[in-house]
Amino acid sequence: MKKQTFYPTIWSPMPFNFGFLAQGDINGRRIKEVILNNQMVAELGVSEMELNINRFAAFDIHGNEHHILDFPGQSALKIQGMASGNFLRSRKSVNLNSGTYTTFRFYLNKENKFTYNDGLVEDVFSYDHLDFTIENNLIIDGSQPLELKFWFDFAPFKLSSYFKSITDLFRKEGNQRPRLARGY
């Protein structure tokens, strides 16, 4: 019988929530998982982002902004959707006051990139920030420092996007045949 390796996080549409992992790591630090949504990103069909972030903030239920972190210089951050099994995790504990938080805001520098679900990559210069709403809100009781694990609800890649480089060979320069076929 042949052994086959199975990696469930690659194909999982939802983050894993093993009881002990969702509450903390092996060093006893508390970890909270949050799912982030953005309506504009969902409508455009964005599957991946490369963002140059300069600040990061959270908004509470009353609309007050709470500064979390500054990023020195150009900090390129590649964000992928939940369907890829990838997430972002804070390296340090996030010091937020007790309360309910509804939105995270990423303040952006120039030269950001969106990769759409069909494989098209586009440079984006028009946004100075992106807001992501927190699914089911983030409630912090303030009892001890907290680390966050961010899952982004992006559109999964279409199957045709994996063959985009091959199909682009046949679409270059109008209706001309690819270079390899010209000599025949």
- DSSP string of 17-53, one letter each residue: --HHHHHB-TT--EEEEEEEE-HHHHHHTEEEEEEEE
pLDDT > 90? residue 36: yes
Domain that holds residue 144: 28-178
pLDDT > 70? residue 7: no
Q: Is 15 a member of any domain?
A: no
Q: Is 174 a member of any domain?
A: yes
Q: Is 150 a member of any domain?
A: yes
Q: Is 2 a member of any domain?
A: no
Q: What is the pLDDT of residue 147?
A: 84
Q: What are phi and psi of 147, to 5 degrees?
A: -100, 150
Residue, of 52 and 29, whose pLDDT is higher? 52
Q: Is 83 a member of any domain?
A: yes
DSSP H or E run through 8: helix 8-11
Q: What is the pLDDT of residue 73?
A: 62
Of the pLDDT bands very low, low, confident and very high (cuts 50, 70, 90), residue 96 is confident
Q: What is the pLDDT of residue 74?
A: 61
Distance of CA 172 to the CA centre of its chain: 31
Q: What is the pLDDT of residue 180?
A: 35
- What pLDDT digit, counting tens, does each position of 53-84 carry? 888 899 999 999 998 876 666 668 899 888 88
Domain tally for the chain?
1
Cα angle value 87/92/96 (rounded, 5°): 95
Averaged pLDDT, 35-55 = 91
What's the pTM? 0.69
Q: Is 18 a member of any domain?
A: no
Q: Is 8 a member of any domain?
A: no
Q: Is 88 a member of any domain?
A: yes
Q: What is the pLDDT of residue 64?
A: 93
